Amino acid sequence: MSKTLPIDQMIDSQRGIISREIFVSPEFHKEELEKLFTRAWLFVGHESQISKPGDFFVSRMGQESVILCRDSRGEVHVFLNSCRHRGMKVCRYEQGNTSLFVCPYHSWSYTTDGKLQGVPLYRSLYEGVLNRDEWSLVEVPRLSLYKGTVWAFRWASDDDPASLYFERNDNGIVVASEPFDQHREAWVHVPPGHALIARPGESMEMPPMKVV
Ligand code: FES
């Protein structure tokens, strides 16, 4: 299926109508991956999914598989799910608890804080000179926790998701209430049919959106 109309002709904000092609177009999806998923804070999970040391949950950042995990000291990490040896997916499970991630290809193993620990045949293959400290799992450059939600960013950034997405109270957005800190209760308090995200200075009062 190919894109037939420019994006601005697919959205009628006055009448609150959008084209359903927006949701199915491979071209839009490709553009979103390039222009949105690589440049925005992405929600990767919730702390309640990794409540204990060693808990992990495999999530995604765009098309990239990432491991959300809590290390043995309780720190939260998000790693690219890619072995530093030859790029195999290190973690093949969706979630669980572990003390080590062992790559299924040649069994390099990583601790829950991403450090390379085990390298089979270390002495004979690498003559003992491979510096394990240089071959940790790749961690996302920016990580932010907001009321239990976990956000990751591909690049270094001074912004944080709380200031970008939440707590913009000028126009009344309330995204998470305090009980959310206990990892349950209400998510969002945006009136039904209202858009969730507005640019800075824009009103949240938008007509209900319909898909046609
Ligand atoms: S690709 Fe992971 S150990 Fe070789």
Contacts 24+ apart (CB under 8 A), 199-204: 200/168, 201/170, 202/171, 203/171, 204/171, 204/172, 204/173
Query: Ligand 1 center to residue 90 CA distance, Å?
Result: 8
The pLDDT score that the predictor gives to residue 166 is: 63
Show pLDDT as tens, one digit a residue, over the chain (212 residues).
Answer: 455 677 778 888 888 888 888 888 888 888 888 888 888 889 999 999 999 999 999 999 989 999 999 999 999 999 999 999 999 999 999 999 999 999 999 999 999 999 999 999 998 888 878 999 999 999 998 899 988 999 998 876 666 666 666 655 555 555 554 444 444 333 344 444 444 443 333 434 444 444 44
Q: Which atom of ligand 1 is nearest to the CA of 107?
A: 3
pTM for the structure as a whole: 0.74
CATH 2.40.128.130 fits 42-144, yes or no: no
pLDDT reported for residue 14: 84
| Residue among 101, 51, 59 nearest 78 (CA) | 59
pLDDT for 169 equals: 54
Does ligand 1 come within 6 angstroms of the Cβ of 86?
A: yes
For the chain, domain boundaries: 1-35, 42-144, 166-201
Separation of alpha carbons 119 and 128, rounded Å: 10
Q: Which of 65, 81, 85 to mutate to test the pocket of ligand 1 (most atoms within 8 A of CB)?
A: 85
On whether the CB atoms of residues 36 and 148 are closer than 8 A, the answer is no
Count of H-run helices and E-run strands, the chain: 4, 13
Q: Ligand 1 centre and the CA of 119: distance in Å?
A: 9
Atom of ligand 1 nearest to the CA of 84: 2
Residue 85 in contact with ligand 1 by CB distance below 6 A: yes
Asked whether 102 lines ligand 1 (CB < 6 A), one says no
